C-alpha cells in the first residue's frame, strides 16, 4: 500500500500490521505470550533497530501533536525528580533532561538499549516496572508513561507504585 494514496485509517491499519508482525516474531522466537524475564529481555522487539526507529518516530509524532511540548501537565515549578517508565530508546528522557538541566531524570526499561546519556542529569536503569520499585527515599515530582498499554500484565500494580512514589502535588502523565 502506498501511504501517499491511502485513505483515512490506513496509518492505523499499517501500524496494527507492523505491531502484529512484531508480536508474532517475538512469540515465534520465544514460544509464549508471557512477558519475558529480565534474562530474556535482550530478545524483546525493542532491541531490534527497526523497532527502535519506530519508537523514535512515535516520539516525534507525539511532539507534533503536542506542539513540541514534552509535557502537557500544568507543572507549577520545574520538577526536581522525574521518572520515565518504559523509556524505550530513552529519547523522551534525554530531551527532557537537556531542556531541564536542574531536574534529575531516571529512565527505566526492561531492555538496556538507551545510549550513553551525555546529559549529566539523566540516568538509565534496566528495571521491570512491575517489580517493587527501589528508589529509596526518592519521590518523583513528575512520572512519565507513554504507550504502555501492552507493556504490563498488572497495570494497576504499576500505577499504584507510581502514586506511592509521587511527591505530593506531583503529576503522572
DSSP per residue, 71-111: --S--SS--SEEEEET-TTSHHHHHHHHH-TTSEEEEEESS
Look up the CATH architecture of domain 40-173: 3-Layer(aba) Sandwich (3.40)
pTM above 0.75, yes or no: no
pLDDT tens digits for the chain (173 residues)?
333 333 444 344 444 444 445 444 544 444 444 454 444 444 455 567 777 777 777 877 787 888 989 889 999 999 999 999 988 888 899 999 999 999 999 999 988 777 777 789 999 999 999 999 999 999 999 999 988 888 889 999 999 999 999 999 999 99
- CATH 3.40.50.150 range(s) for the chain read 40-173
Amino acid at each position: 500500500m502506498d501511504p501517499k494514496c491511502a485513505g483515512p485509517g490506513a496509518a492505523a491499519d499499517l501500524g496494527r500490521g507492523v505491531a502484529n508482525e512484531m508480536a508474532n516474531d517475538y512469540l515465534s522466537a520465544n514460544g509464549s505470550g508471557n512477558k519475558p524475564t529480565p534474562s530474556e529481555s535482550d530478545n524483546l522487539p525493542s532491541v531490534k533497530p527497526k523497532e527502535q526507529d519506530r519508537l523514535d518516530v512515535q516520539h516525534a509524532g507525539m511532539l507534533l501533536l503536542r506542539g513540541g511540548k514534552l509535557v502537557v501537565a500544568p507543572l507549577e515549578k520545574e520538577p526536581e525528580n522525574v521518572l520515565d517508565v518504559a523509556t524505550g530508546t530513552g529519547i523522551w528522557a534525554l530531551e527532557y533532561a537537556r531542556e531541564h538541566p536542574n531536574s534529575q531524570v531516571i529512565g527505566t526499561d526492561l531492555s538496556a538499549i538507551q545510549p550513553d546519556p551525555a546529559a549529566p542529569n539523566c540516568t538509565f536503569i534496566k528495571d521491570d516496572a512491575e517489580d517493587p520499585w527501589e528508589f529509596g527515599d526518592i519521590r518523583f515530582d513528575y512520572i512519565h508513561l507513554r504507550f504502555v498499554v501492552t507493556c504490563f500484565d498488572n497495570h494497576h500494580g504499576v500505577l499504584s507504585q507510581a502514586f506511592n512514589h509521587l511527591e505530593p502535588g506531583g503529576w503522572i502523565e
